[in-house]
């Protein structure tokens, strides 16, 4: 099982898409193990996007991410990182395929609704920025056996 960080960005929150987006992840079979509605501070945004510091879009990105509340999610599942990224769609809404979150809800190349960790290392780092270990819950879902084939050594 993998756990990944998802951020529903200010445009998703302001447009009232929180429930519709979370439902897509739950419908897919991913488990919500942490969630927060929060306003990101400039300091936290700078840490989260430090790899982009110095790039022309960086100041606007930090300003956008701190402009309004966001919803931060920790999602768990087999292959959760790749699944979430595929569900999110191409970075720019204008290029995202229909059926993806960005393809169905976005047209802007600046406001792209959602962030998702791109690797296990990034997920671990990013989850640590937004959640304490106590914030992430391990819990058994009653329907787990209907999401994964649990007959072998590993969920499939």
Output the CA torsion sign for 145, 151, 154, 156: negative
48 belongs to the catalytic site: no
Instruction: State how far the Cα of 3 lies from the Cα of 32, in Å rounded to an integer.
Output: 9
Answer for the pair 21, 32: CB distance below 8 angstroms, yes or no.
no
Answer for the pair 98, 104: CB distance below 8 angstroms, yes or no.
yes
Using alpha carbons, select from 30, 18, 113 the residue that is nearest to residue 74.
Answer: 30
From the list 48, 52, 115, 125, the catalytic residue is 115
Residues acting as catalytic residues: 115
């Amino acid at each position: 099982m993998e756990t990944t960080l998802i951020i529903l960005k200010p445009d998703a929150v302001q447009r009232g898409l929180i429930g519709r987006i979370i439902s897509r992840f739950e419908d897919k079979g991913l488990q919500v193990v942490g969630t927060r509605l929060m306003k990101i501070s400039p300091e936290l945004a700078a840490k989260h996007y430090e790899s982009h510091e110095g790039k022309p879009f960086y100041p606007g990105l930090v300003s956008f991410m701190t402009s309004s509340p966001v919803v931060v999610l920790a999602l768990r599942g087999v292959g959760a990182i790749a699944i979430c990224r595929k569900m999110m769609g191409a970075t720019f809404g204008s290029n995202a395929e229909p059926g993806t979150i960005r393809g169905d809800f976005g047209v802007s190349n600046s406001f792209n609704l959602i962030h998702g960790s791109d690797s296990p290392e990034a997920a671990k780092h990013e989850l640590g920025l937004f959640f304490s270990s106590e914030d992430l819950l391990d819990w058994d879902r009653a329907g787990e056996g209907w999401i994964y084939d649990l007959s072998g050594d590993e969920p499939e």
